[in-house]
A and B are shown apart, each in its own frame.
Chain A
Amino acid sequence: MQIENRIKEFILKNLYFAEDNTPEDDASFLETGVVDSTGVMELVAFVQTEFGVTVEPQEIVVENFDSVRKVARFVRRKLSLPEVNGSPVAKAFAPKPSTAAERCSS
């Protein structure tokens, strides 16, 4: 699954309180209130476990965590993946083995 979609799925399942909307890729979390400060902490933890990257405190900034697109771009940068324009890159990175196995079977 594309990085953006996995981030959206996490937000919808865990952080998003509206019933009938999907957050747009470029919509600012700050502007729309989609993710609050506790949500940012949960999103940081998700990014670390789901994509196997380490997030430094100084990286928890608007430029990296204020929209689905920005989070995805941050993950790609941490994984040294190329930038994409909406094309799937799911197989290009190596997530943690435990979550990878579950994902392959689904």
Chain B
Amino acid sequence: MKNKKAITFFVAILASLLVLAGCGSDGDDSSSNGNSSSGDSKTVKFMHLWPEGSSKTHNEIVSEIIADFESQHEGVEIELEVLSNEQYKDKIQVLSTSDELPDVGMTWAAGYLQPYVEGNKFAPLDDLLDGDLKDQFVSGTAEAYAIDGSTYGLPLELNIATVFYNKAIFDEYGLEAPETYEELTDVIQTLNDNGVNPIALGNKDRWTGSLWYMYLADRIGGSDVLTNAINRSGSFEDPALVEAANKVQELVEMDAFVNGFNGLADEEAKSMFMNEQAAMYLIATWDLPNYTTNEDVPQEFRDSVGYFNFPTVDGNGDTNSFVGGPGVGLFVAENSDVKDEAKAFASFFVEQWGEKSVTQAGVIPATKLDAESLELPQMYVDVLEDLNSASNLTLFADVQMSPDTAQVHLDMIQAIFGMEVTPEEFAKEHEDALSAEE
């Protein structure tokens, strides 16, 4: 009996030890980390959001760059962690609260960046931008990562929104790419008369509808009107911004968008466009591979896709003014133990990324490129040329705004498209939210 008691004791202690060990693993991690940074080889932790499954080519390029970096920098090791987009966002947030951010990681511009910069989590990278990376970026991209004069992120991608359209459908009904709003409404009318969905829109995601609104605002009121309303040098109740909301409802009323767009995800809208169920689709250039190089998409469809810049409205607007912005960029953690190495890696990454990303993954990089010297599909060359002649780049509205106001904006976008509010109410809700933050 005594023996049995001892065994019971032993098992119970073992069980509690297991529990304690589970809780304590955190401590082990940090101690081993300390060892490695004090020794000869330094470890730079790097987290990105392109898992092999969903972003294969991106993932491969990253691996190549890391291998190159490690071979050129003896004694520096890159420790990699890969998560998919949403999980990445959640994890970064949690890590930052416990001050365990990776040395180098990915961030988004402007509004997303703000709390991290104010919380002193990201390191300013001005020394890189004045040094190795001077004049490397397309203008307007690195600036999107600047807060109070310092830049905290190195942009990797640049996306501009354009209207992709199905040339085969357009030809069938004798239509041409519209250059004015009137021509656009004519196209929509003709397509509707023939039972073709004019525009694929997945407004469950809300930023998709925001693109339409932003372009209408840009064409009606000029490239500054929305930006000024957001940075408070103007007002959201500007007539142009109200009129843009009005135009949105005009389009909704004439059934310009596919049925039930407010409940569709962008992916569903995209699949409607790609299955030739809708003739037009406003999306940013991250979708270019689908219409050029992606072998999974039928060649016939890829050949039939063209794009046009958003039309002018009532004779106003500059078709070379774009809505867009840098996608993800790299940050370096402020409290990193290996900040110099981390910065060197980030800088190296950006330099290598430019050409590799466009030729291998079909990403438009934020760094300047010579389109002529690269072998690229025609649509890429066109887009890169458009970028060179761009008169303005307006950053996505939900990125420009603080996270709080962005929610108001996005909810209002669904409401205005869903005819739940009037253009005036739409503008007023924005104005209230923006002025509450001042």
Query: Are A and B genuine complex partners?
Result: no
A interface, CB within 8 angstroms of B: none
